[in-house]
Amino acid sequence: MSSEAEVRRLALALPEAYEDTHRGQPSFRVKTRIFAMLRRRSSGKSPGLIVKLGSDDQHNMLCAYPLVVTPWIHYPQHGWTQVWRDDADDQLCALILRLAWLHVAPKRLHALLQEKGGP
């Protein structure tokens, strides 16, 4: 299980990522574009992680982790994807956050992620 603190640490470790809010929920951005959001809910499974993936990455994650990664109810056709943190380990969250960051970050920043050992 990935805690909110660990997700925050992983997201903010990405180049030029910063935390802001979106509709009262914590969001993570690069150059004003949201790549991930933490969802806080009072019922059911623990809060989820919402990420913006490219269509190929979304499809691959949905197929590889069908019980952990699901299309988000809002705008799944635009890559918005839910990750159930109760069922996701830190390694999977790190991978998905990097994919989301790569999807929205300017291309000039991609080299910075590779310098840090990213995909």
117 within some domain: no
16 within some domain: yes
In this prediction, residue 43 carries a pLDDT of 52
115 within some domain: no
18 within some domain: yes
116 within some domain: no
pTM passes above 0.85: yes
Q: State pLDDT tens for residues 49-75.
A: 999 999 999 999 999 999 899 888 777
118 within some domain: no
- The answer, yes or no, to whether residue 78 has pLDDT greater than 80, is no
Domain that holds residue 62: 4-110
56 within some domain: yes
CATH of the domain at 63: 3.90.1150.30
Name 52's bridge partners: 80
In this prediction, residue 26 carries a pLDDT of 92
State mean pLDDT over 40-55. Answer: 75
State mean pLDDT over 41-54. Answer: 74
50 within some domain: yes
- The answer, yes or no, to whether residue 33 has pLDDT greater than 60, is yes
Domain count, the chain: 1
State mean pLDDT over 103-115. Answer: 85
